[in-house]
Amino acid sequence: MSIWFAAFQGLVQGLTEFLPVSSSGHLVLVQTFFGGDTETNYMLFNVLLHFGTLLSVVVAFWKDIKELFVEFFGWIRDGFKINGHPYRRFIVMLLITLIPMFAVLPIKSKIEEVFSSSLVVGLLLLLTAALLFLSEKAPKKHKTEQNARWLDALIVGIGQMFAVLPGLSRSGTTICTGLFCGFSREFAVRFAFIMSLPVVLGANLLELIDVVKDPAAATAGTPLACYLVGIVVSMVSGLLAIRLVKFITNRGNFRPFVVYCTLVGTIAVVASLIMMV
């Protein structure tokens, strides 16, 4: 792997992790059409790219994350009583979103392996486009951590569960699901990104177990510089993408991403069918 290809993949990961266009789907397409065998050559590299975008969420939402940590210990000290604290309700909502993921995280790698063909990715990108288009019709409501229902958190968590499929955008699915549940646009974005932290961290730990089991296949002789470049580029581009998502969501117009996902999805489907022939 060259430094330039590592930087390119970091850029793809950072932008598509948070823009509603599916990072895993784009990495599959990039590595399939330009890089070769995804599972053999890029296992550890993909884990580190996700670590880079994980850092970008921590940086972008550090104020909220710090407050959640403070309130978490206060919540324990008070015997798990919420006592009207919005961030304690936020913590409970985050825990609820994890319930569906407990069923899918242990088999996440198997799901990605089964559904990581470029044809399936293309079809799921078209589904992402449809979801984004429909979300524009969602009524504008103002639920936040102060008044959202526990059921709302569970529904968004179910949306995140389905978004493990490559091509179905995690950020797009969770933001849109939150909007359908009546979240304010600002809270839908904030909740979607912060709720991704434990899931991405858990998924990375599971993938690291696979790396430890077969380090030679996972690294495939990739230079250390490529890993470092990939992490830095994915983190910086992730921060830029988060700012862009906040801006676009507040405007309530996902049309550019609808067009983009439709175009890329169609190209992926057509190219895959041609390759089969």
Torsion, Cα of 268, 271, 275, 276 (10° steps): 70
The pLDDT, as a whole number, for residue 112 is: 64
CA 204, 163, 29, 15 torsion: positive or negative? negative
Q: How confident is the model at residue 219 (pLDDT cuts 50, 70, 90)?
A: low
Residue reference for tokens 């798990």: 80
The pLDDT, as a whole number, for residue 151 is: 95
Tens of pLDDT along 77-117?
999 999 889 999 999 999 999 999 888 767 766 766 666 67
Tens of pLDDT along 107-126?
766 766 666 677 888 888 89
Mean of the per-residue pLDDT values for the chain?
83
Which of 11-20, 128-137, 153-162, 207-216 has maximum average pLDDT? 153-162
Average pLDDT of 192-218? 75
pLDDT at 239 over 70: yes
The pLDDT, as a whole number, for residue 26 is: 67
Average pLDDT of 182-207? 86
pLDDT at 39 over 50: no
Q: How confident is the model at residue 40 (pLDDT cuts 50, 70, 90)?
A: very low
Q: Distance between CA 243 and CA 143 in Å, rounded?
A: 21
Torsion, Cα of 193, 228, 3, 120 (10° steps): -30
DSSP string, 69-130: HHHHHHHHHTTS--TT-HHHHHHHHHHHHHHHHHHHGGGHHHHHHHT-SHHHHHHHHHHHHH
Indicate whether this model's pTM tops 0.85: no
CB atoms within 10 A of CB 212: 10
Q: How confident is the model at residue 27 (pLDDT cuts 50, 70, 90)?
A: low
pLDDT at 157 over 80: yes
Phi, psi of 181 (to 5 degrees): -80, -5
Radius of gyration in angstroms for the set of CA atoms belonging to the chain, rounded to a whole number: 19
